[in-house]
Amino acid sequence: MTDRYAVIGNPIEQSKSPQIHLAFARVTGQDIDYTRVLGPLGQFAATVDAFRAAGGRGMNVTAPFKLDAYAYATDLAPSAQMAGAVNAMKFEGDRVLAENFDGVGLVRDVVHNLGRPLRGQRVLILGAGGATRGALLPILAEQPTELVIVNRTVAKAQDMVALAQQHQRSPVPVQGLAYAALAGRSFDVVFNATSASLTAELPPLPPGVFAPGALAYELAYGKGLTPFLSLAQQAGVRALADGVGMLAEQAAEAFAWWRGVRPDTAQVIRDLTVPLT
Ligand code: NDP
């Protein structure tokens, strides 16, 4: 029998998840159906209950429901606990197992797909929202020499430092700063985990933040050359990436968790890539 999966969000028509998971199913020979579910606001639990009652086996969760899914889950994996949010659920009888694969997806894209180890690198993250929170431990596990988080609202960057210090196993120096405090400092890998690019804005980065040979990684995807990537390019950065690989890798993690087989992501990434021009 065909197993049913879906992605829930509001809005949802923009989601690439059906395309990605159905492509994974084709190449791995898995018999699954994967659809979009528009969750009415305030009715997350009732909508998921109905999907489960109809035989649904698992769901991806996107905005604005990642916190609702966190509350709905019965079994939160450490990744979801750390992120404070859930992006994948698996239904087993009365149990709702919950994960957050965004952070591991990001790190896998950088280290595996882009061939850019984070070990020994000076890493800067712009933004201190959900994506940064989920990426914290996976990045620290790679043992960079230092991790700096900058945010418009500095207190949120400092909260991330406290969280990292509480959870990380082998300490890497972590700082939470204001953008202005970056003056005179440079980094080997700079992640833009702000949502500024979604409105074509640019975080107030001082010039010189990119070290020679740096990677500039925009977590948003499908936007081409965002203001952040454009700034990096003008600063001479040649290694530019957006979050399409992160999207594909977090999906592959969920697929493997559900189906026990990890799909190759290369074709999906090629299909979804929008040129960075
Ligand atoms: P949140 O809403 O949780 O956080 C947004 C962050 O952006 C906050 O730190 C906010 O700062 C900052 N910000 C917003 N506008 C500006 C601005 N104009 N200048 C400077 N900082 C700004 O978002 P998420 O963490 O969920 O998402 C962040 C990005 O990551 C988005 O672009 C999203 O599309 C992308 N993403 C990509 C994924 C992928 O698979 N590729 C998966 C998940 C996210 P403040 O706290 O001061 O308000």
Tokens of 154: 């500095």
Cβ atoms of 198 and 220 within 8 Å: the answer is yes
Edge-to-edge order in the sheet of strand 88-92: 32-38, 3-9, 56-61, 88-92, 95-99, 75-76
pTM of the predicted protein model = 0.96
Output the tens digit of pLDDT for each of the chain's 277 residues.
Answer: 899 999 999 999 999 999 999 999 999 999 999 999 999 999 999 999 999 999 999 999 999 999 999 999 999 999 999 999 999 999 999 999 999 999 999 999 999 999 999 999 999 999 999 999 999 999 999 999 999 999 999 999 999 999 998 887 778 999 999 999 999 999 999 999 999 999 999 999 997 999 999 999 999 999 999 999 999 999 999 999 999 999 999 999 999 999 999 999 999 999 999 999 8
Q: Measuring from each residue's beta carbon to the nearest atom of ligand 1, which residues come in under 6 Å?
A: 102, 127-132, 151-153, 156, 193-198, 201, 203, 219-221, 243, 246-247, 250
Residue 160 CA, distance from chain mean position: 16
CA–CA gap between residue 3 and residue 5 (Å, rounded):
7
Q: Which residue numbers are catalytic?
A: 66
Put residue 129 in one of left, alpha, beta given phi > 0 → left and psi -120 to 50 → alpha: beta
